[in-house]
Amino acid sequence: MDIVLVHGAGGRPTTWSAVQPLLAARGHRLFTVTNPMTSLADDIAETAAALAGTSGPVLLAGHSYGGAVITGVGRDPRVKGLVYVAAFGPDEGETVNGIVERYEPAEISKYMRRGPNGEWKSQASPEFWAEIGPDLSAGQRAVVEAEGRQADNLIFTQATGVPAWRSLPSWY
């Protein structure tokens, strides 16, 4: 089976680096996506474009915000299932921001910095690493910091369409 791995807003393809060898050892073809994080629609389009490289049935896996992305991409007929890894699974018309605002702020949010237009980026510090990645080596942390980029507000505020999880096998 082909598996497309979609990172979250604070992530990058290396988010999946520990999982990829395990899946590859089981014979799966893996594809990672680097979403532009400019809008939910752009990220859905980028992930949908990754499907062009697949040849068989596809399983989509999304982490965190990546769950909102796979919820939209999963409507492609090549997709046979969805895997949500600590991810958002918005319903039709929902936004990631709308889901987040229903709860108390997550502890990790104290390390996130919002810009004047709603964009955000993580602020790495020893305290940040102790909370978000205590098991990462200094080398892994350097990769994460080098790959880090801003997430625009539209990834949080654009509403989803009909969710693919309504018609596909899904695991959370």
Q: Is pLDDT larger for residue 8 or for residue 146?
A: 8
Does this model's pTM top 0.85? My answer is yes
Instruction: Report the chain's mean pLDDT, rounded to a whole number.
Output: 91
What phi and psi values does residue 159 have, to the nearest 5 degrees?
A: -80, 150
Q: How far apart are CA 165 and CA 83, in angstroms?
A: 10
- Cβ-Cβ contacts under 8 Å for 56 (sequence gap 6 or more): 1, 2, 29
Residue 27: pLDDT above 90?
yes
- Is the distance from CB of 120 to CB of 65 less than 8 angstroms? no
User: Helices 40-50 and 66-73, interaxial angle, to 10°?
Assistant: 60
pLDDT of residue 114: 80
Q: Which fold has domain 2-102+154-171?
A: Rossmann fold (3.40.50)
What DSSP letter does each residue of the chain carry, written as one string? -EEEEE--TT--GGGGTTTHHHHHHTT-EEEEE----S-HHHHHHHHHHHGGG--S-EEEEEETTHHHHHHHHTTSTTEEEEEEES---PPTT--HHHHHTTSPPPGGGGGEEE-TTS-EEE---HHHHHHH-TT--HHHHHHHHHH---B-THHHHSPP-S-GGGTS-EE-
Mean pLDDT on 51-57: 90
Q: Is the pLDDT of residue 32 over 90?
A: yes
Model confidence over 125-158: pLDDT tens digits? 888 888 878 888 888 888 877 777 788 999 999 9
Indicate the residue type of 11. G
Question: Domain residue spans in the chain?
Answer: 2-102+154-171
Q: What pLDDT score does 124 carry?
A: 80
pLDDT on residue 79: 97
Q: What are 3's two structure tokens?
A: 């598996």
34-50 residue pLDDT tens = 999 999 999 999 999 99
Angular region, 27: left φ>0, alpha ψ -120 to 50, beta rest: left
Q: What is the pLDDT of residues 88-111, one digit of tens each?
A: 999 999 999 999 999 998 887 888
153, 166, 66, 39 alpha-carbon torsion, rounded to 10°? -30
